[in-house]
Amino acid sequence: NAGVTQTPKFQVLKTGQSMTLQCAQDMNHEYMSWYRQDPGMGLRLIHYSVGAGITDQGEVPNGYNVSRSTTEDFPLRLLSAAPSQTSVYFCASSYSNTGAGRQETQYFGPGTRLLVL
Amino acid sequence: AQKVTQAQTEISVVEKEDVTLDCVYETRDTTYYLFWYKQPPSGELVFLIRRNSFDEQNEISGRYSWNFQKSTSSFNFTITASQVVDSAVYFCALSEGRSGGGADGLTFGKGTHLIIQP
């Protein structure tokens, strides 16, 4: 299994540009989430999904859109990038229930570093 | 609302010393889950431990140990005989209710930057 993958690894945008951060997992996890990490702030939840077709807002959703058309993919869209969105973005996934021998936790992707000029 | 506080922003110790990272949490739920993650300089997030609210048993894994105390809402992490490779940012996190895996995502503390000097 590749686990949780994120593309791109690094991106530079100009203010006002749009882009989509890709996230995919091959572990058949029901739950997926997006976080941003800023210096001294820890990780903050942007959006999350408990299954295909279901999404909800986290702590800092403004400026971001998500959709979940398949179990595997959970893209994060920036419609009009702003310098305040310069950050490292992490995608995570987890099981919805504990099966035998499962260590139920969130598995994180390697992150996408975004710079908005 | 849930909250996780890691009051220690940065800790610096000399190799082989023991070090404890503090974590205090707030939640209204009676069922919740606590986590510790490690973020080395390379940037990835490495899962260390998950603890259920109904299991206050302390845990030891090699040089790592965790002390969970519901009475003080704390979930502290101790590294014994620290090594330079332990240098990283450590995050404590909380998940409430319906899924221990974090159906609604995790609430993270701001992290403690641990520096182990040789």
Would you say the C-alpha torsion A39, A43, B86, B11 has a positive or negative sign?
positive
Q: Which residues of A touch B109 (CB under 8 A)?
A: 42
State how far the Cα of B48 lies from the Cα of B84, in Å rounded to an integer: 17
Cis check: omega of the bond before B118, within 30 degrees of 0:
no
Beta-strand relationship, B74-79 and A87-94: unpaired
Q: Which residues of chain B have pLDDT under 70?
A: 97-103
| Token pair belonging to B64 | 């790592």
Q: What is the pLDDT of residues B66-77, one digit of tens each?
A: 999 999 999 999
Distance CA A13, CA B61 (A): 43
Rounded to a whole number of angstroms, the distance from the CA of A61 to the nearest CA of chain B is 13
B62 in contact with A, Cβ within 8 Å: no
CB atoms B99 and A97 under 8 Å:
yes
Q: What is the pLDDT of residues A46-94, one digit of tens each?
A: 999 988 999 999 999 999 999 999 999 999 999 999 999 999 999 999 8
